[in-house]
Structure 1
Amino acid sequence: MATTTTSIEVPWSADRTWQLIGGFDSLPDWLPYIRTSELSEGGRVRSLTNEDGGTIVERLRAFDDAARTYSYSIQRAPFPVTDYLSTLTVHELPGGAGSRVEWSGSFTPAGVSDDEAVALFHGIYSDGLAALRETVTA
């Protein structure tokens, strides 16, 4: 199993940041390469459409509003991995000076090396968090 984690600090409080990104259906609000998100199964499954028209289907595995975190797995996507589990968490910085958003994942590469799979998801997470910072500082 391979893993990767990345994080970024943003100038918003943890509560305000969580309000933007904490909804399982909120990716289009801050992630420009996700055009749409449609919930099904009582909000536990999201079908995402990316900028190329591709579809990614993900299932919510855990949600903790008080801890500002959720985890999800991929049900269908064009990624070369299986057993994917990812977690998005917002942490308050000391003194309320903003927040740190952490995005992590674990997965089993399928047809690619561990390094290739890690590079793919590390890039997705890093680019996504950079887009988040742009959104909150615009």
Structure 2
Amino acid sequence: MANDFEVGVDVGVDPDAAWRLAGDPVAIRDWFGPVSDIAVDGDLRTVTMGNGAQLLERLVDRDDAARTYSYVVESGIPGLTSHRATIRVVEAPGGSRVLWRQTATSDVEGYDIEARLSGVMTAGLESLRDRLEGAAA
């Protein structure tokens, strides 16, 4: 059971360029396929998924100089007692690396957020990479 994990993707653009897209809390709808719409009001982000489900998230701990921000899911995912995710961009050979970490607790026995989310998160980061590298071409 893995309820604290990270996925990442190398991107052939400089970290500042990657951060402009990865660090925009609204632009995630442009590269993360399951999201159909996002509305931000202050530090609250309402995420509408393609299946109609809505998540209420609080944006926390943003640091543009370090190219990182975190959000916590306050409601919308059944069984979770806590959830925190962090998106960050770091320098890497040939450009940058975008990392997405998830940490969760659940009152559901055997809950495994990595099994539930790692594939779709990796696909999202690959879409982000394709978008960034296509824009740089």
Shorter-chain TM-score: which interval? 0.7 to 0.9
Indicate if the aligned counterparts of 1:62 and 1:70 stay in contact, CA closer than 8 A: yes
Aligned-residue RMSD, C-alpha? 1.8
Q: Is 1:11 matched with 2:12?
A: yes
TM-score of the superposed pair, with normalisation by structure 1: 0.86
Count of matched residue pairs: 133
Pair 1:52 & 2:18 matched: no
Change (3 A) 1:128 1:79: farther
Structure 1 unpaired stretches of 5+: none
Native 8 Å contact 1:80 1:117 kept in 2: no
Instruction: Give the share of equivalent positions with the same residue, in percent.
Output: 30
- Bigger share in helix: 1
**Is residue 104 from structure 1 mapped to residue 101 from structure 2 by the alignment?**
yes
- Provide runs of 4+ in structure 1 moved above 4 Å: none
Aligned to 1:35: 36
Which residue in the other structure is 1:75 paired with? 74
The unaligned stretches of length 5 or more in structure 2 are none
Aligned residue in 1 for 2:3: 2
Structure 1: distance between partners of 2:59 and 2:33:
21
Paired with 1:37 and 1:10, the residues of 2 have a C-alpha distance of 24
| Distance in 2 (alpha carbons) for counterparts of 1:130 and 1:78 | 24
